[in-house]
Amino acid sequence: MRLRDYQEAAAEGVFREWQEHSSALVVLPTGLGKTVLFADVIRQMHERGARAMVLAHREELITQAADKIRRVTGLEAQIEMGEYHVTTMFGEMPPVVVSTVQTHCAGGDGAGRMSKFDPQDFGLVVIDEAHHATAGTYRRCIDWYRQNPNCKVLGVTATPDRADEAALGAVFESVAYEYGVLDAINNGWLVPIEQQMVTVGSLDFSNIRTTAGDLNQGDLAEVMEDERNLQGVAVPTVEICGDRRAIVFAATVEQAERLAEILNRYKPDRAAWLCGKTDKEDRRKMLADFKAGHLQFVVNVGVLTEGFDDAGVEVVVMARPTKSRALYAQMAGRGTRPAEDIAGKLGDVPTAQERCRMIRESCKPSCLIVDFAGNAGRHKLCCSADILGGNIDDEVVAEVSRRVKENGKPVDMAAELEKVKAEVAERKKREAATRTRLQARANFLVTKIDPFDQWDLTPVQERGWDRNRHFSPKQSQVLLERIGVDPEKIPYGQGKQLLDEYFRRLQGGMASLKQAALLKRSGFHMPLRHDMAGRMIGRMRERQGW
């Protein structure tokens, strides 16, 4: 299976980080093939003589990973979970083992079946849904295999919540690659997100307490199970969805059951609900009926947030408000996959423009996310602007959220973010102009060049896992001497962003930062190679007598 460009970049980033660190994290949005990525990393490690242990926390993730690894790599992948036990051939472990963290840690001493695996037999541990890796069970597993000093650790996740990034930084020493949802949409890998806010007058979250960073479950249950609010969610859901299939996320089992009941009053036998205790066979049948179109609505409580892939989902209904960006991203990601009839073809299309056109003309040109607004009180509840605006100013994200709430109609979130981003940038530019006295310089030499402005980069926001990290001596030297930035005065993430761009341009033979800045001030805005830029500057020097 041929990797997509971002998957290749992610794999290259992993091996590059492993040259200095033993663990690395990759952040890819839902629907972009994290399993294919780590399967390819497993293949490359196998070619170097290393076995892999893949750990996850749910049965669906285990079976999906084992199947995908076999198909992508051709390697034998055995499962260690429940009644499944790894079998050895002449005492040799298979090249890949896939297991749940619960299986690994079950038992009185916390060792469970982990102790049957010799750390020296494994050169790679992959943590799927790595935002869970801060839990004690995962830490015990990682520590077990790290008894082998040559063992590498790879974590993959779609949703590292900002509140957890510092903790993730204690598990993974570096972030090898990060790809934002908005970038994936603009590059034609995911469908655009439309957001619609429905105001329900009886919804009042103002008295709900905050527990562990999110709305208190008991307080939230009392609000969402109220009959007026159930009707306030169900009726707009029926009207907005039309004939489109929708996943509805509920906060409690009681709410899920009653929502499904009300939806069935309007559309008989078209809604069902499930929770963690739903019989596995019943769940499989329900989701099969949903995929076949026999059901239009599936209301669930924390079941379909991970390991559920159905490209036919066109509407995601958030009947479970949250302050957690990670949880919101998991739920929203259930609807962003392109339609099945084009998904497999996108990897063969060379340009983002053409991929976006294919999505736009497909049977699923976008995904609609429906949120229900009320009196939020002191709470900052998530909406799709929070997951799309990863590297966008918080001020822009807040303004977009406010406008969408006031609008009450479906809004193209990518377009709205770009619009507000431009408005805020223009306002700040005007404000800066009133504070700064512009000085013209006849000399072409520049004492300070803003590399972000010159390279048209938006500085990334500081992430929790980058705090207290420092540049290596070589990185500091390049930042100071080649890019003109003091490594002591720039956040690690932004410095790493500049270093990556510098080396990308260097490998591509592109003009240096100073060359590009000089040419830009002289009216040349098109990108040039280093040698051509040098010749142009030479001719300018001769003509103008520099």
How many whole angstroms separate alpha carbon 201 and alpha carbon 183? 35
Could you report the average pLDDT of every consecutive run of 10 residues in the chain (546 residues)? 91 94 92 94 96 90 91 92 84 91 77 85 94 88 94 89 66 89 93 94 93 92 95 96 96 97 96 94 95 96 89 96 90 94 90 95 96 89 83 82 88 90 85 52 44 77 73 88 86 87 83 74 66 75 64
For residues 92 and 51, what is the distance between their CA atoms, to the nearest angstrom?
Answer: 11
Phi, psi angle pair for 439, to nearest 5°: -120, 125
Shared fold status for 5-179 and 187-423: yes
pLDDT (0 to 100) of residue 500: 86
Nearest to 154 by CA among 11, 308, 43, 7: 11
Q: Around Cβ 173, how many Cβ atoms within 10 Å? A: 17
| 274 vs 257: CA distance, rounded Å | 8
User: What is the distance between the alpha carbons of residues 53 and 99, in angstroms, rounded to a whole number?
Assistant: 8
Tokens of 429: 């530019």
User: Distance between CA atoms of 38 and 26, rounded to whole angstroms?
Assistant: 9
Alpha helices in 248-279 (DSSP H): 253-266
Instruction: Identify the CATH assignment for 5-179 out of 3.40.50.300, 3.30.110.30, 3.40.50.1980, 3.40.50.2300.
Output: 3.40.50.300
If phi over 0 gives left and psi between -120 and 50 gives alpha, with beta otherwise, what is residue 122?
beta
Helix (H, G, I), strand (E, B) or coil at 438: coil
- How is domain 187-423 classified at the CATH fold level? Rossmann fold (3.40.50)
If one counts every other C-beta atom within 10 angstroms of the C-beta of residue 495, the result is: 23
Angstrom distance (rounded) from CA 321 to CA 376: 10
H/E element, 202: strand 193-204
Furthest-apart CA atoms within the chain: distance in Å: 83
List the one residue out of 357, 419, 360, 409 whose CA is nearest residue 389. Answer: 419
What Cα–Cα distance (Å) separates residue 375 from each residue in 199, 204, 213, 403?
9, 5, 19, 16
**Residue bearing tokens 């003589």:** 49
Q: Where are the domains of the chain?
A: 5-179, 187-423, 451-544
pLDDT of 212 reads 84
**What are residue 175's DSSP bridge partners?**
25
> Which residues lie closer than 8 Å to 83 by C-beta, 6 or more apart?
none
Q: Is the separation of the CB atoms in 293 and 244 below 8 Å?
A: no
β-pair partners for 215: 210
Give the model's pLDDT for residue 447.
38
